[in-house]
Amino acid sequence: MFLLHQYDPFWVFLLVSISIPYLAFLIPGFIAPARKGPERLTSYESGIEPKGDAWIQFQIRYYMFALVFVVFDVETIFLYPWAVSFTELGLLAFIEVIIFISILVVGLVHAWRKGALEWCQ
């Protein structure tokens, strides 16, 4: 017989995980005061009068440089667990890490050739 009460923890977890984002957006709306005024509608709220338009174009190479850094920084963190347990893993894990590092090097060479690592030109 199919026992539905076995899945009660799942339904509770699902309900809690769905309600947390909604609560995260609703609670500050009730707690925070809603003051609307001319200062609130300005581009900057630092107390300094804004000069010019707030929509300034930035060059994409700054974002690309940051993105490449973050990708390679996060990928190298994956090497830490492997280095900690290097002696227990054996030859197959060593070959897998060599492949992993090779893929990173290919990506680095590709980014270098595309000019994503050039800060100023």
Quote the CA–CA distance of 26 and 29 in Å, as a whole number.
5
CA 60, distance to chain mean position in Å, is 18
User: 0.85 cut: is pTM over it?
Assistant: no
* CB environment 6-34: b (16+ within 10 A), e (fewer): eeeeeeeeeeeeeeeeeeeeeeeeeeeee
Q: Give CA–CA dist 25/23, Å, rounded.
A: 5
Please list the rounded mean pLDDT of every run of 10 residues in the chain (121 residues): 80 94 89 73 63 71 78 83 86 90 88 76 56
Torsion, CA 86, CA 90, CA 92, CA 93, rounded to 10: -10
Q: Which CATH number fits domain 4-114: 3.40.190, 3.10.450, 1.20.58, 1.50.10?
A: 1.20.58
pLDDT (tens digit per residue) in 15-32: 999 999 999 989 988 888
Evaluate whether 7 touches 15 at the Cβ level (below 8 Å).
Answer: no
Q: Are 107 and 76 in contact (CB under 8 A)?
A: no
